[in-house]
């Protein structure tokens, strides 16, 4: 579904990001994953290469909250592989600190990585995508972008912003044949969720109409569809992948 495409996936070393990278590789894309540290980038690439040595996968670890560093890294991908077809802004940080206890530094950290970093990558990517005739930008949102959450306003606020960015960028860049969509995962069995005790997981499952926690591949499948030509007339959408859970 993505044969010949070149993709960047931020936050691609583990969890949902890693699943997206793998899904794209399985479908013929060349993928450059961005991680927070060189050691985690190298580990992810080694794991993927061990699974299939024929996959073309590369990596980098720019500071995503540094606009100049992001632009340099994105340009390096286009220079090496000749184009950039897909940008997945998946890197992010969650937070559930009550408002009375949150610090300005904590709030700023969430917004900088979950919102500013997306814009920095988009600003760099569109300079490449427009001259080449189009591309796809996908953002990771969250179910809390729709319902909010009872503690910790920074995270849902950032994801509401992601949805706003997605819809506005879709309208702005539609004439340039750049599609922009988001995926809003629900509770997904990442390392963080897997570490929770069973007594916490069971009540969560009871709130999900499909009666199961999602797995990273469930979310990666949505990212595959939206990146592919099967979604050629889909833009400005926030696709929920949450088993119909609405908190």
Q: Which residue has the tokens 């702005």?
A: 172
Please name which of 48, 68, 55, 66 lies closest in space to residue 28, comparing C-alpha atoms.
55
Q: What is the spatial distance between Cα 229 and Cα 160, in angstroms, rounded to a whole number? A: 27
β 135-140/30-34 pair status = unpaired
DSSP at 53? T
Rounded to the nearest 5 degrees, what angle is found at the Cα of 54, between the Cα atoms of 1 and 14? 75
Please list the active-site residues: 155
Output the CA torsion 76→219→96→11 (10° steps): -20
């Amino acid at each position: 579904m993505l044969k010949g495409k070149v993709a960047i996936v931020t936050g691609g070393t583990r969890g949902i990001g890693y699943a997206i990278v793998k899904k794209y590789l399985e479908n013929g894309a060349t993928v450059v994953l961005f991680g927070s540290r060189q050691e985690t980038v190298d580990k992810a690439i080694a794991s993927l290469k061990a699974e299939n040595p024929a996959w073309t996968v590369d990596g980098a670890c720019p500071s995503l909250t540094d606009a100049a560093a992001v632009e340099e890294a994105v340009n390096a991908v286009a220079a090496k592989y000749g184009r950039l077809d897909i940008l997945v802004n998946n890197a992010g940080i969650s937070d559930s600190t009550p408002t009375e206890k949150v610090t300005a530094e904590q709030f700023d950290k969430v917004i900088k990585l979950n919102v500013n970093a997306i814009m920095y990558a988009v600003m760099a990517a569109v300079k490449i995508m427009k001259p080449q005739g189009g591309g796809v930008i996908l953002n990771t949102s969250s179910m809390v972008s729709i319902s909010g959450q009872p503690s910790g306003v920074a995270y849902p606020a950032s994801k509401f912003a992601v949805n706003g960015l997605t819809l506005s960028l879709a309208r702005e860049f539609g004439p340039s044949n750049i599609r922009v969509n988001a995926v809003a995962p629900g509770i997904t069995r990442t390392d963080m969720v897997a570490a929770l005790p069973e007594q916490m997981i069971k009540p969560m499952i009871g709130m999900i109409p499909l009666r199961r926690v999602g797995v990273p591949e469930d979310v990666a499948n949505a990212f595959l569809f939206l990146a592919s030509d099967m979604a050629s007339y889909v833009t400005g959408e926030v696709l929920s992948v949450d088993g119909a859970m609405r908190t």
